[in-house]
Amino acid sequence: MTVRRLSHILAFLAVPTLWGCSNGGADAPPPPSAQAQAAIKDEGGAPRDALGRAIDRLFDDDAVGRTDALVIMKRGSVIAERYGQGVSATTPLQGWAMGQCVTALMIGQLVSDGRLRLNESAPVPAWQRPGDPRGEITLKQLLQMRSGLRHSETGDAGQGDVARQSDRIRMLFLDGRDDMAAYAEAQPLEAPAGQVFENSSASAVILSDLAARVLSPDSDPGRRRRAVEEYLDNRVLDPLGLKTMRVEYDRAGTMIGAAMVDASARDWANLGEFLRHNGSVKGAQILPRRWVQFMLAPSPRNPGYGAGVWLNRAEPGENARLYPGTAKSDVFACLGEHGQYVIGSPSQLLTVVRLGASDAQQEQALHYELGALLALFPSN
Alpha-carbon Rg for the chain in angstroms: 21
CB 297 within 8 A of CB 290: no
* Nearest-angstrom CA–CA distance, 228 and 223: 9
Task: For residue 101, give the 3-state DSSP assignment.
Answer: helix
| Residues near 350 by beta carbon (within 8 Å), at least 6 away in sequence | 44, 72, 73, 74, 343, 344, 374, 377
Return left, alpha or beta for 96; rule: phi > 0 is left, psi -120 to 50 is alpha, else beta. left
Phi, psi of 310 (to 5 degrees): -90, 145
Domain positions in the chain are: 96-260
pTM value is 0.90
* Nearest-angstrom CA–CA distance, 100 and 208: 10
Task: For residue 69, give the 3-state DSSP assignment.
Answer: strand
pLDDT tens column, 186-201 = 999 999 999 999 999 9
> CA dist 115 to 7, 9, 108, 226, 253, Å?
47, 48, 10, 18, 19
pLDDT tens column, 217-276 = 889 999 999 999 999 999 999 999 999 999 999 999 999 989 999 999 999 999 999 999
| Residues near 278 by beta carbon (within 8 Å), at least 6 away in sequence | 289, 292, 293
Burial environment of residue 43 by CB neighbours within 10 A (0 to 12, 13 to 18, 19 or more): middle
Choose among 256, 321, 336: nearest CA to 95.
336
**What secondary structure, in 3-state letters, does 149-189 show?**
ECCCCCCCCCCCCHHHCCHHHHHHHCCCCCCHHHHHHCCCE
Burial environment of residue 257 by CB neighbours within 10 A (0 to 12, 13 to 18, 19 or more): buried
In the prediction, which pLDDT does 6 show? 37
Total number of residues shown for the chain: 380
* Nearest-angstrom CA–CA distance, 154 and 82: 32
* Nearest-angstrom CA–CA distance, 221 and 227: 10
Q: Interior CA angle at 245 toward 296 and 217, to 5°?
A: 85
Query: Which DSSP letter does residue 378 get?
Result: P
Q: How far is CA 147 from the centre of its chain?
A: 20
For every one of its 380 residues, what pLDDT tens digit does the chain have, with 9 covering 90 and above?
333 433 443 343 344 333 334 444 557 788 999 999 999 999 999 999 999 999 999 999 999 999 999 999 999 999 999 999 999 999 999 999 999 999 999 999 999 999 999 999 999 999 999 999 999 999 999 999 999 999 999 854 444 555 457 999 999 999 999 999 999 999 999 999 999 999 999 999 999 999 999 999 889 999 999 999 999 999 999 999 999 999 999 999 999 989 999 999 999 999 999 999 999 999 999 999 999 999 999 999 999 999 999 999 998 887 789 999 899 999 999 999 999 999 999 999 999 999 999 999 999 999 999 999 999 999 98
CB 236 within 8 A of CB 102: yes
* Nearest-angstrom CA–CA distance, 170 and 156: 11
Give the CATH superfamily of 96-260.
DD-peptidase/beta-lactamase superfamily (3.40.710.10)
| Residues near 207 by beta carbon (within 8 Å), at least 6 away in sequence | 103, 104, 107, 139, 142, 143, 257
CB 46 within 8 A of CB 80: no
